[in-house]
Amino acid sequence: MKRFLIIADDFTGANDTGVQLSKRGISTKVFLKTLTNQTADSYVIDTESRNMPSETAYSHLEKIIAPIDFEPFDFVIKKVDSTLRGNILEELQAVDAAYQSELILFMPALPDLGRTTVEQIHYINGQRLLDTEIANDPVKPVTTDNIQTLLQNAFPDETVHALSLDAISADAEVFQNGRLWAVDAQTNHDMQTIIQLALQTQKKILWVGSAGIADNLMALEMPTAPALALVGSVSEVTKKQIQYAEKHNIAVIQVPIHEILLHKNRSQYAAKIAQSLAAGKDTIVLSSASYHRSELGKTMETCAKLGIKPEDVNFTVQSILGDITRRGMQDQQIAGIFLTGGDTAIGFLDQLACSTVEILEEVLIGIPLMRVCGTENDGLKIITKAGAFGNEDAIYFAMKKLKSL
């Protein structure tokens, strides 16, 4: 098992980064201000240095990390605040001096919380960092939101290279030249692409960033089975949740119910689901009407032509969606399935011949986690949500939750 050393500047940051390891089964201990032994798999050190005077931060870090044997660790991460507060320059200098990095990759993005970097400028929910209230922190105000400038200030005698999004291709040679890199990222996919390119260099890398860099390293080093979602609701709330998830690189497979009714082509959509899951992609299966409300009219019209009564339309739709989803996941390994809409959930469970589920916990208000009891899918984790319910990130969050169990 790979071993990680994370050096964080405050307690909450140490924990939100360390949990990325522990939720994947890596034994992780957080040490407060000093590392007393090295017998566990991985460690997080909280140096409690974010708000101390800049002139003492370097010596404080130097003293803490001096006894550390870096050799057993496969990954060394200097965790920084995702809003760039703290003594980043001094702490980075101290860790680099002790670790003797061959490559420093500075990528502070945390896309899941709206922290992104574009053209070296760091943003919070689409707003430039310097234009937010965070920049005016009373203890440690942010003086620049340009990550290349920040890294250059830490190493004034070396060249700092910038890697922008339009240059993030599959260029395996990108990190071969130059030691210091300030890197853009807007999505987890961006971060994983960059990490893969950096790993190909086989250099001694100091990873510098927020919890996002640890999470995406782990996603590559210890990949989990993909999560599946089945959506039958046509509410506007659900549509926004689907769009949010899609924006965060979750695959979306739309099933046009009216075409299925006419052409009986369920197999091709089941095959699309299977192909997506086999590729390791988190996948949402939905009625095309959940994405385009106009599709609902086509479904109603087709049902009328086929003699399906209005009161039976919903049952027909959910039966089709449940059957296609069951077929698509049949031979695939999945972390669990998210179901939105009560009729959708029952339609799917009917396809599994499931008569009992066990409630395990509430993952968000009104959104429970359960597991299937009996049937060949015994133990399958499911999360359910009413259609017009939850925040914009509800589906995305629930699918990530399934992968962390």
| Same domain, residue pair 268 and 232 | yes
Distance, CA of 80 to CA of 104 (rounded, Å):
13
| Same domain, residue pair 164 and 251 | no
| Same domain, residue pair 195 and 249 | no
Domain that holds residue 147: 4-221
218 half-sphere exposure, CB direction, 13 A CA radius: 24
Residue written as token pair 């469970």: 349
Name the DSSP letter for residue 133: G
Q: How many H helices and E strands in the chain?
A: 14, 18
> Which pLDDT value is given to residue 363?
86
> Which pLDDT value is given to residue 57?
95
| Same domain, residue pair 147 and 237 | no
For residue 336, what are the β-bridge partners?
Answer: 227
Q: How far is CA 359 from CA 133, 380, 388, 401, in A?
A: 41, 12, 21, 15
Residue written as token pair 């490559």: 103
pTM of the model: 0.82
Residues 6+ apart with CB under 8 A from 55: none
| Same domain, residue pair 184 and 86 | yes
Distance, CA of 94 to CA of 61 (rounded, Å):
6
| Same domain, residue pair 194 and 336 | no
| Same domain, residue pair 287 and 150 | no
3-state secondary structure of 26: coil
Residue 342 token pair:
């009560």
Last residue within a domain, chosen from 197, 221, 245: 221
Distance, CA of 132 to CA of 200 (rounded, Å):
37
Residues 6+ apart with CB under 8 A from 36: none
Q: How far is CA 60 from CA 45, 87, 94, in A?
A: 13, 11, 9
State the DSSP string of 171-186: -TTTTTS-SEEEE-BS
Residues of the chain with pLDDT under 70: 36-40, 169-172, 387
Nearest Cα to Cα of residue 372 among 349, 351, 399: 349
CA 30 distance to own-chain centroid: 22
Last residue within a domain, chosen from 203, 221, 239: 221
> Which pLDDT value is given to residue 36?
67
Angle CA 103–112–105, to nearest 5: 5
Tally of domains in the chain: 2
| Same domain, residue pair 149 and 236 | no
Judging by beta carbons within 10 Å of its beta carbon (0-12, 13-18, 19+), is residue 313 exposed, middle or buried? Answer: middle
Distance, CA of 200 to CA of 220 (rounded, Å):
13
Question: Could you tell me the maximum CA-CA distance found in the chain, to the nearest angstrom?
Answer: 80
For residue 110, what are the β-bridge partners?
Answer: 115
Q: Is residue 45 within 8 Å of residue 103, measured between CB atoms?
A: no
| Same domain, residue pair 235 and 327 | yes
CATH number of the domain residue 125 falls in: 3.40.50.10840
| Same domain, residue pair 81 and 156 | yes
> Which pLDDT value is given to residue 21?
84
CATH number of the domain residue 338 falls in: 3.40.980.20
Q: Is residue 73 within 8 Å of residue 1, measured between CB atoms?
A: no
Nearest Cα to Cα of residue 85 among 152, 19, 9: 9
Last residue within a domain, chosen from 191, 221, 251: 221
pLDDT, tens digit, 9 for 90 and up, residues 332-351: 999 999 998 788 889 899 99
> Which pLDDT value is given to residue 161?
95
State the DSSP string of 266-306: HHHHHHHHHHHHHTT--EEEEEHHHH-THHHHHHHHHHHHT
- Helix, strand, coil percent content, the chain, rounded in steps of 5: 40, 20, 35
Q: Is residue 153 within 8 Å of residue 217, measured between CB atoms?
A: no
Intra-chain end-to-end CA distance of the chain, in Å: 19
Angle CA 143–145–150, to nearest 5: 75
> Which pLDDT value is given to residue 126?
94
Residue 352 token pair:
């599994």
| Same domain, residue pair 42 and 145 | yes
| Same domain, residue pair 289 and 334 | yes
